Structure 1
Amino acid sequence: MTRFALLACAAAFVVAGCSTTGGGDTASASSGDWTAPVGKDGNAPFPSTYKPYPGRPTALVGATIYDGRGGRIDNGTVLLRDGKVAAVGDASLSTTGYDVVDGSGKFVTPGVIDIHSHLGDYPTPSVEAHSDGNEATAPMTPEVWAEHSVWPQDPGFTRALANGGVTALQILPGSANLTGGRSVTLKNVSARTVQGMKFPGAPYGMKMACGENPKRVYGSKGRMPSTRMGNFAVNRQMWLDAQAYDGEKRDLGKETLKGVLDGEILVHNHCYRADEMALVMDMAKEMGYKVTAFHHAVEAYKIGDLLRENDVCSAVWADWYGFKMEAYDGILENAAFLQREGACVVIHSDDANGIQRLNQEAAKAQAAGRRIGIDIPDAEVVGWFTYNAAKAMGINDMTGSLEPGKMADVVLWNGNPLSVYTRPEKVWIDGALMYDAMDRKRRPVSDFELGQPGEGDVK
Structure 2
Amino acid sequence: MIRSLFVLGAVAGLAACAQTGRTESAASKPPAQDGAPGKGKGYSHDPYPSTYRPYQGAPTLVTNVTIFDGEGGRIENGAVLFRDGKIVAVGQDLKPEAGMMTIDGRGKYVTPGVIDIHSHLGDYPSPGVQANSDGNEMTSPVTAEVWAEHSVWPQDPGFGRALVNGGVTTLQILPGSANLFGGRSVVVKNVYARTMQAMKFPGAPYGLKMACGENPKRVYGSKGRSPATRMGNIAVDRATWARAVEYKRRWEKYEEKGGEPPSRDIAMDTLRGVLDGEILVQNHCYRADEMAVVLDMAKEFGYHVSAFHHAVEAYKIADLLKANNTCAAVWADWYGFKMEAYDALPENLAILEKEGACAMIHSDDANGIQRLNQEVAKARASGIKAGFQISEEAAWRWLAINPAKALGIADKTGSLKPGKMADVVLWNGNPFSVYTRPEMVWVDGALLYNAADPKRRPVSDFELGQPGEGDVK
The structure 2 residue matched to 1:20, chosen from 6, 22, 25, is: 25
Determine the structure 2 residue equivalent to 1:244: 246
Q: What's the offset of the Cα at 1:95?
A: 1.4
Q: What's the offset of the Cα at 1:54?
A: 1.4
Over 3 Å counting, the alpha-carbon distance change for 1:297 and 1:23 in structure 2 is: farther
- The one-character-per-residue Cα deviations of 1:40-76 (angstroms, maximum 9, x if unpaired) are xxx6211000111110000010000000000000010
Q: Indicate yes or no: 2:205 matched with 1:200.
A: no
Q: What's the offset of the Cα at 1:18?
A: 4.0
Aligned runs of 1:280-429 on 2, under 5 Å? Answer: 280-429=294-443
Give the gaps of 5 or more residues in structure 1.
none
Counterpart amino acid of residue 121 in structure 1: D
Over 3 Å counting, the alpha-carbon distance change for 1:330 and 1:35 in structure 2 is: closer
Is the contact between residue 20 and residue 50 of structure 1 (CA under 8 Å) also seen in structure 2? no
Distance 1:268 1:283 in 2: 14
Counterpart amino acid of residue 102 in structure 2: V
Is the contact between residue 164 and residue 356 of structure 1 (CA under 8 Å) also seen in structure 2? yes
Distance 2:230 2:114 in 1: 35
Q: What's the offset of the Cα at 1:11?
A: 2.8
Q: What's the offset of the Cα at 1:249?
A: 1.3
Determine the structure 1 residue equivalent to 2:8: 9
Distance 2:339 2:87 in 1: 45
Over 3 Å counting, the alpha-carbon distance change for 1:322 and 1:264 in structure 2 is: same
Distance 2:2 2:221 in 1: 53
- The one-character-per-residue Cα deviations of 1:288-345 (angstroms, maximum 9, x if unpaired) are 0000000000000001111111111100000001100000100111111111101111
- The one-character-per-residue Cα deviations of 1:343-365 (angstroms, maximum 9, x if unpaired) are 11110000000000000000000
Is the contact between residue 24 and residue 201 of structure 1 (CA under 8 Å) also seen in structure 2? no
Q: What's the offset of the Cα at 1:5?
A: 5.6
Aligned runs of 1:34-433 on 2, under 5 Å? Answer: 36-39=41-44, 44-90=46-92, 92-97=93-98, 98-245=100-247, 246-247=250-251, 248-433=262-447
Counterpart amino acid of residue 290 in structure 1: H
Q: Indicate yes or no: 2:463 matched with 1:449.
A: yes
Over 3 Å counting, the alpha-carbon distance change for 1:77 and 1:242 in structure 2 is: same
% of aligned pairs identical? 66
TM score, norm. by length of structure 2: 0.91
SS across alignment from 2:106: coil
Is the contact between residue 30 and residue 48 of structure 2 (CA under 8 Å) also seen in structure 1? no
Q: What's the offset of the Cα at 1:37?
A: 3.4
Q: What's the offset of the Cα at 1:22?
A: 8.6
Over 3 Å counting, the alpha-carbon distance change for 1:82 and 1:25 in structure 2 is: farther
Over 3 Å counting, the alpha-carbon distance change for 1:358 and 1:21 in structure 2 is: same
Determine the structure 1 residue equivalent to 2:453: 439
- The one-character-per-residue Cα deviations of 1:188-227 (angstroms, maximum 9, x if unpaired) are 0010000010000000000000000000000000010000
Q: What's the offset of the Cα at 1:375?
A: 1.5
Is the contact between residue 112 and residue 166 of structure 1 (CA under 8 Å) also seen in structure 2? yes
Counterpart amino acid of residue 10 in structure 1: G
Is the contact between residue 114 and residue 168 of structure 2 (CA under 8 Å) also seen in structure 1? yes
SS across alignment from 1:375: coil
Is the contact between residue 22 and residue 49 of structure 1 (CA under 8 Å) also seen in structure 2? no
SS across alignment from 1:450: coil
SS across alignment from 1:106: strand
Distance 2:456 2:438 in 1: 13
Over 3 Å counting, the alpha-carbon distance change for 1:73 and 1:240 in structure 2 is: same
- The one-character-per-residue Cα deviations of 1:411-452 (angstroms, maximum 9, x if unpaired) are 000011111111000000000000011110001110111148
TM score, norm. by length of structure 1: 0.94
Counterpart amino acid of residue 93 in structure 1: L
Aligned Cα RMSD in Å?
2.2
Q: What's the offset of the Cα at 1:158?
A: 0.3
Over 3 Å counting, the alpha-carbon distance change for 1:78 and 1:134 in structure 2 is: same
Counterpart amino acid of residue 112 in structure 1: V
Is the contact between residue 121 and residue 159 of structure 2 (CA under 8 Å) also seen in structure 1? yes
Distance 1:3 1:53 in 2: 27
Distance 1:169 1:23 in 2: 24
Distance 2:107 2:27 in 1: 41
Over 3 Å counting, the alpha-carbon distance change for 1:80 and 1:250 in structure 2 is: same
Distance 1:419 1:348 in 2: 18
SS across alignment from 1:138: coil
Q: What's the offset of the Cα at 1:36?
A: 2.4
SS across alignment from 2:89: strand
Is the contact between residue 30 and residue 49 of structure 2 (CA under 8 Å) also seen in structure 1? no
SS across alignment from 2:196: coil
Distance 2:464 2:30 in 1: 37
Distance 1:413 1:23 in 2: 37
SS across alignment from 1:304: helix
Q: What's the offset of the Cα at 1:187?
A: 0.4
Give the gaps of 5 or more residues in structure 2.
252-261
